[in-house]
Amino acid sequence: MGGRPRVAITVGDPSGIGPEIAARAAEDPSVLDVCDPVLYAPTDPASFAPGELSARAGRAAYDQIVRATADAQRGGVDAIATAPVSKEAFRLAGLPWTGHTDLLGHLTGSTHVAMMFDSDVLRVVLATVHVALADVPRLLTQASLEATITLAALELPRFGVPTPRLAVAGLNPHAGEHGLFGHEERDVIEPAIAACRHRGVDVAGPFPADTIFLRATRGEFDVVVACYHDQGLIPVKLAAFGRAVNVTLGLPIVRTSVDHGTAFDIAGLGKADAGSMIAAVRLAARLAPRTVSP
């Protein structure tokens, strides 16, 4: 007990900026102060052309995630911090997952996982993730939203929030305006909030999405549950891009990641900002249990 955590750093898509930012994070003094980083990369990294989308790169990224996850599950590493993968490269490789979140849920047998972005000014949890906007109303069910709200409330104490105050954003403009602009708030979101409040969760809403994130940045709430990907990520990236950390809630292992993508356009040019990767590793180290298997 009490030892320095070992944090696995996967390089993500080897044709993107992942290898660069992962290597820089592994050498950063602020990272080395808090953990022992372990890089997970393909054995032949030089064989991947920078900026080139390929099935081979997608498979290589997948293989490193699988290896790091297995090591975390058996206790060989205490946490995982992942560089970005390409969802299109995953598809070219014939992989059915849309990214880390659903893949890690599958690998660990987790029943419900959620994506949270953590920063010093705003936290956001996504009720749906990488799906078409047209599919959001169908996928935003009362049961799934209740599970996400409950999971966020259970996980927030690990982030230094012992009694979290949650807000839920409405799906429609003006949070539906009492059914004038949509019925999802009345039929799905309000009942989910009521059920969670009945179980003791401090959650309120649904609130109009055009103001609730601002209210959270001013300290009124500790986390906002957003209905869909861009609804949550636009405000958090506007407020804290390069400092925010993506965390998967609901896993039996610790997993963090960056707040950006593969950036194929600058891969191999030495321009990538490693700030979010460094923040992700440092957060993984803080969340990790302090036990390491030999």
User: What CA–CA distance (Å, rounded) separates 229 from 87?
Assistant: 15
Number of domains into which the chain is organized: 2
Nearest to 117 by CA among 250, 246, 286, 224: 246
Same structural domain, 233 and 256: no
We report the CATH number of the domain holding residue 280 as 3.40.718.10
Q: What is the pLDDT of residue 291?
A: 43
Same structural domain, 221 and 127: yes
Same structural domain, 207 and 280: no
Same structural domain, 51 and 124: no
Same structural domain, 175 and 132: yes
Same structural domain, 102 and 153: no
DSSP classification of residue 167? E
* pLDDT band at residue 293 using 50, 70 and 90 as cut-offs: very low
Same structural domain, 53 and 19: yes
pLDDT in tens, 174-187: 998 888 899 999 99
Q: Which domain holds residue 23?
A: 1-110+251-294
pLDDT in tens, 225-261: 999 999 999 999 999 998 899 999 999 999 999 999 9
Q: Are 7 and 258 in contact (CB under 8 A)?
A: no
Same structural domain, 152 and 214: yes
Same structural domain, 92 and 164: no
